[in-house]
Structure 1
Amino acid sequence: MLSREKFIKFSLESNLFYLRIMKEHLFFIETSLTPVEEDIQKMSDLLKKSLEELMLEILPLANECISKEVISSCELVTKYTLEAERITSNLTGASINMEITEKELELLCDNDCDYSEWLETYIVNFNSRVLNIMEEVLSFKERILKEFSECKLFIRVYPKMLEHIIHETKLYLKILNCLKEKEIPVNTLCEELNFWNHIMGEHAQFIDGMLDPSEEELKKAAEKFVLNYEILVKECLRMHKKDMVNKSFKLTEYIKEYKTAATKGLLDCEIKSIIPPLLGDHVLREANHYLRLLKEI
């Protein structure tokens, strides 16, 4: 069982990271649906706004109560996030609560946090509310994939990308369910690395598929990342722990640089693609998150 301090800190950090990821998934779904799916668009927007409200609620509590490692990792927000939100919102017409990003850019680390009994009780209740909403979000995403697979709905998102965001949602739900018992998920090294190496490889696949055919160098680089992550996943059980962690870290450092350059290129309108700038920043933050996990391992 986690101590009170570790429970509060891990809950705050996990919720801040995953709530943003989840609400952006809903944004991408909302903006990829056709006008005929107005009711589903409204549901996606409603769920997105519910997650934004939860983020605004927890941000004041998180200030000075989360670690400097999480803040400095840029997994919660990057220097590109606010601009990516502004441009993507303007291009799509869909709303994004940018006050959240502005507040996250001002977050401080855990120098003066009072990990009180009151705060612990509040976080227990908050996690429970998030769990309930995330179960609804998972059902919504699974419905989208099912209806798309049965040709009952059209959305400009790959089925594999829908499966990808469902896997991430299930991971978040697993974390929330463990936190009910004041524990964290326990995985083998290969389970942990393979999950995130698979996620990173799929990011590269999606980038490759959404780049204009004329972007040959960027597409070749993405294809190479896909291959290298597939090799890591296959070799995990045969490779020494230290070698596996080091190779995963090195490759993820490279893909972080690739995603950083891509995000900047999308913001500056220098890359031909159908990738919204916010998606570039989204996958960059996930790489930053994985790098911090690898450092902890």
Structure 2
Amino acid sequence: MKEVINNDYQISDEIGRGRFGIVYRCYSIVSGDCFACKSIDKRLLSDPTDRECLQKEPKILHILGGNPNIVQIHRLYEEEDYLHMIIDLCDSHDLFDRISKRAGVFSESEAVSVFSPLISSIGYCHRLGIAHRDVKPDNVLFDSRGNLKLADFGSAEWFGMNERGTMTGVVGTPYYVAPEVLSGREYNEKVDVWSAGVILYIMLAGVPPFYGESPADTFEAVLRGNLRFPTKLFRSVSPEAKDLLRKMLCKDVSRRFSAEQVMRHQWVVTGGETRSMADLT
């Protein structure tokens, strides 16, 4: 890893590490602004699918450029053995860390303050024909100002390029993956709505809606899709929030809400406040 990339960016300390590369803090030599440099070792990409993802992610980030709740790509540098992406620096705790640190639950107003920009960013992706396909708390980042940034589009796909608007392939993460992905059938962008619904459930209840002792058991629970609201966990959760969860974590994809429908739901529109429809008129 070079300490300076093309005389443009000064590489600093390591701030993250993944399967195929390392994320560093870096600084623009011209402006002094802080960014992150995601450096991927291409020699570790023996699987053709992984190589395809490597080429696809920068292109997708360019298409999604301009949305304040999606990590932006600023520059791309390619060497023989490495690919370096200069992206937004998100050096605050990610959503996974925030959930783990609480060892408890979010109030509804706290949950909606995270959920609203998240589902808005997902809706933006879907309008441009892109599905993220790995929405989970680890990929929900925050910058130093507290702005939410959806990240890691390595598993994303252009469903808009398919006449039927469908995709195939088992991608995603246990707990958050939609049942139709695991079933091996074709699926559409609503897989992201399911994953966002799991995140919302966890923020309100402190536990995932579908889980098991092993990944295989978890997948079985997801495939069953038996959504429950244990009284002990949901005693203080509003009927509006539970209604939204039912419509997001709906196994019947034709009845599952789209991201746009989620954004128009009463619970989101009112900022998590429990009001009757009469109060809104």
Q: When the two structures are superposed, what TM-score results if normalisation uses the length of structure 1?
A: 0.27
Q: When the two structures are superposed, what TM-score results if normalisation uses the length of structure 2?
A: 0.28
Q: By percentage of residues, which structure has more helix? A: 1
Q: By percentage of residues, which structure has more strand? A: 2
**Higher RCO (C-alpha under 8 Å, 6+ residues apart):** 1
